[in-house]
A and B are shown apart, each in its own frame.
Chain A
Amino acid sequence: AQSVTQPDIHITVSEGASLELRCNYSYGATPYLFWYVQSPGQGLQLLLKYFSGDTLVQGIKGFEAEFKRSQSSFNLRKPSVHWSDAAEYFCAVGPQTGFQKLVFGTGTRLLVSP
């Protein structure tokens, strides 16, 4: 069965500290992998995606993620968190072909302390 696990429901990070949000997936074939961010009252914004090639992908707002096939993981990182990064982050997987029927994780809410 296809599934995405985000083991951390909430994470609190001090402003300026580094961040890593975990994502593990289970998928029958090689998937496309995504991280979305949702700020309060906003829609889902794509941070970055992995299709193929270099396993370290760069996204917007200074985020990056690393695809590790052996661990079925796609963790999101940022070297220095800003207060504006406080939001909910969703990892998702989707098929490499066909319609974008994405499977989402339950999300991780990031709180940024001063």
Chain B
Amino acid sequence: EPEVTQTPSHQVTQMGQEVILRCVPISNHLYFYWYRQILGQKVEFLVSFYNNEISEKSEIFDDQFSVERPDGSNFTLKIRSTKLEDSAMYFCASSRGPDGGELFFGEGSRLTVL
């Protein structure tokens, strides 16, 4: 069964460092998302991406964050200068279509900022 894969599964970084989280969505999906879950809190929407541009982003997704689809398969989330409060589990998701289409989530990348 096709699945969304994310790397790394866990990354530890120093505050102020740049981090790139990688995702390979399901191959025939066109809509891509990043969500995050701070430990003990709810899963929160960060950004949606379609046709090589951001379609919607939350207030969490400030100038420190960026997303990119550098080739036909990868979808990346970059945090330019990490802060302690960026420590969270980051989930990538993809869907075939936008309207109520099922979101398929990856297993998550746990980011720890020291």
A: residues with CB less than 8 A from B are 4, 32, 36, 41-46, 49, 51, 90, 92, 94, 96-107
B103 and chain A: residue at smallest CB distance: A100
In the bound complex, how far is the Cα of B93 from the Cα of A90, in angstroms? 16
Residue of B nearest to A96 (CB): B100
Bound-complex Cα distance A30 to B32 (A) = 23
- Contacting pair B107 A43 (CB below 8 A): yes
CB-contacts of B79-101 with A (<8 A): 91, 93, 95, 98-101
Q: Are A100 and B106 touching (Cβ within 8 A)?
A: no
Given known contacts A43-B107, A44-B105, A107 and B42 CB-to-CB distance under 8 angstroms: yes
A-B contact count (CB 8 A): 66
Asked whether A96 lies within 8 Å of B43 as measured between CB atoms, the reply is no
Contact-residue bracket for chain B? 20 to 34
Q: Is B17 an interface residue (CB 8 A)?
A: no
Contact of A99 with B105 in the complex, beta carbons under 8 Å:
no
**Taking CB as reference atom, which chain A residue is nearest B92?**
A43
The answer to whether B91 touches A103 (Cβ under 8 A) is no
Residues of B within 8 A of A (CB): 4, 31, 33, 35, 41-45, 48, 50, 55-56, 58, 91, 93, 95, 98-108
Cβ distance A98 to chain B, nearest Cβ, rounded Å: 6
B95 with A100: CB separation less than 8 A: yes
For B58, the closest partner residue in chain A by CB is A101
Whether A101 contacts B43 by the Cβ 8 Å rule is no
Complex CA–CA separation, A96 to B98 (angstroms): 9
**Given known contacts A99-B50, A100-B31, A100-B48, A43 and B100 CB-to-CB distance under 8 angstroms:** no
- In contact, A99 and B107 (Cβ under 8 angstroms): no
